[in-house]
Amino acid sequence: MKAVIAHGEGDLRVEPVEPVVVSPDRVLVRVVYGGICGSDLHYAKEGRNGAYVIKTPLTLGHEVVGVVHDIGPAAETSLGVGAKVAIHPARPTPLPGGVHGAGFNLTPGGSYLGSASTDPHTQGGFVEFLEVTPEQLRELPDSLPLRRAALSEPLAVALHGIGRLGERVRGANVLVSGAGPIGCLAIIALRAAGAGRVVAADLQGLPLEVAREVGADDVVRLGAGERLEPGSFDVVVEAAGVVPSLVAALDAVRPGGSVLQLGMLPAGPLPIPMAGLIAKEVTLFGSQRFDVELDAAVALLAADPRAEAVITQVFGIDEAKEAFACAADSSRSSKVLINISEDPEK
Ligand SMILES: [Zn+2]
């Protein structure tokens, strides 16, 4: 079987790996689709994702769906062989008493598929057969195609972020700054949370087309003569993870408004003019991965076929390098999937 493995900076390979025999308490999933995430791109290009540096070869991928292939004799699951599943990428290591009531996305020491945050690294899901615990499985409804279900994990991330804003979203005038995959999934989450008006801003044309398709009321193409009215949005969702986008967010939010930092910012000190945050009494929210939102993401994807517009390309596993190059180019792609093994629905 094959896997997509990052060996370090600029060194991504599709390589054969040893077949897996299922452990007694585990389930073996035949992975059908994997979505390429910004963190996968960072590992492939820079050999690191923020603070997490690749020390040994790392199979990438944490946005994966597939079908149950084999079940260990002691695995406690009601699912049968052939069931369609999304995989929860996290396996928390609960601390005694928990961490100040925080969700398990904030629990230190937990593992996440395809991440160098743990030592040894947690190998990811861009592999034909992946062994997981029964708790990591989420059965997909018949009405939800595997292909669309590959958006479950990033949509859960968006739902978690929008959930951080609580009641501030209902009826609000919202700007999504950065209309890449996570920005577009945030639009879907904002719609579900009852936002009043959603505007998407981006430098590129294609992300804004996708934003329209998933429910943005209006789009603003920055750098093309269009600009945002300062102080005009109740809520701004920063979804690009770049300094100019956060600067624009702080400028565009109204006095007393809120900014959600959903994009992953670079590590280290950043030049951000923060005085406006004080003068306008802006509330700034951070958001880390997700906690309990995966089931809600699956349900929302089943209910909203428009989400499919976020998937712009699907590559075979042997074309993984091309897939990564495409995913890194936001002028021609939104979410790029790797088709890892045969889709039973095709
Ligand atoms: Zn992701």
Class of domain 158-286: alpha beta
Cα torsion 121, 127, 132, 137 to 10°: value is 120
Span from the CA of 149 to the centroid of ligand 1 (angstroms): 13
Residue of 104 and 204 predicted with greater confidence: 204
Give the span between the Cα atoms of 156 and 337, in whole angstroms. 17
Asked if pLDDT for residue 101 goes beyond 70, the answer is no
Strand-pair partners of 64? 34
Span from the CA of 157 to the centroid of ligand 1 (angstroms): 8
Task: Give, to the nearest 10 degrees, the angle between helix 38-46 and helix 320-327.
Answer: 110
Span from the CA of 115 to the centroid of ligand 1 (angstroms): 11
Using CA atoms, how far residue 77 sits from 16, 113, 182, in Å, is 29, 20, 31
Span from the CA of 271 to the centroid of ligand 1 (angstroms): 26
pLDDT band, very low/low/confident/very high, at 336 (cuts 50, 70, 90): very high
Q: What is the pLDDT of residue 106?
A: 76
DSSP at 339: E
pLDDT band, very low/low/confident/very high, at 292 (cuts 50, 70, 90): confident
What phi and psi values does residue 179 have, to the nearest 5 degrees?
-110, 35
Average pLDDT over residues 315-340: 98
Q: What is the pLDDT of residue 132?
A: 96
pLDDT in tens, 40-64: 999 999 999 988 999 999 999 999 9
Fold annotation for 2-139+304-339: Quinone Oxidoreductase; Chain A, domain 1 (3.90.180)
Does residue 184 contact residue 211 with C-beta atoms inside 8 Å? yes
Span from the CA of 264 to the centroid of ligand 1 (angstroms): 11
In the chain, domain spans: 2-139+304-339, 158-286
How many H helices and E strands in the chain? 9, 20
Span from the CA of 97 to the centroid of ligand 1 (angstroms): 28
**Token duo for residue 4:** 């997509």
Percent of the chain with pLDDT over 70: 95
What phi and psi values does residue 35 have, to the nearest 5 degrees?
-90, 140
List, in sequence order, the alpha helices (H) in 129-180.
Answer: 146-149, 152-164
Span from the CA of 114 to the centroid of ligand 1 (angstroms): 10
Average pLDDT over residues 185-190: 98
Average pLDDT over residues 251-258: 98
Q: What is the pLDDT of residue 102?
A: 56
Does residue 187 contact residue 209 with C-beta atoms inside 8 Å? no
pLDDT band, very low/low/confident/very high, at 103 (cuts 50, 70, 90): low
Residue of 257 and 92 predicted with greater confidence: 257
Span from the CA of 89 to the centroid of ligand 1 (angstroms): 9
Strand-pair partners of 253? 233
> Within a 13 Å sphere around the CA of 237, how many CA atoms are in the beta-carbon half?
37
Asked if pLDDT for residue 153 goes beyond 80, the answer is yes
pLDDT band, very low/low/confident/very high, at 97 (cuts 50, 70, 90): low
Span from the CA of 184 to the centroid of ligand 1 (angstroms): 13
Nearest to 126 by CA among 56, 48, 60, 69: 60
pLDDT in tens, 111-131: 889 999 999 999 999 999 999
pLDDT band, very low/low/confident/very high, at 100 (cuts 50, 70, 90): very low
Does residue 271 contact residue 243 with C-beta atoms inside 8 Å? yes
Q: What is the pLDDT of residue 291?
A: 84
Average pLDDT over residues 19-40: 96
Instruction: Collect all residues with Cβ–Cβ distance below 8 Å to 331 and sequence separation of at least 6.
Output: 204, 205, 206
Span from the CA of 61 to the centroid of ligand 1 (angstroms): 8
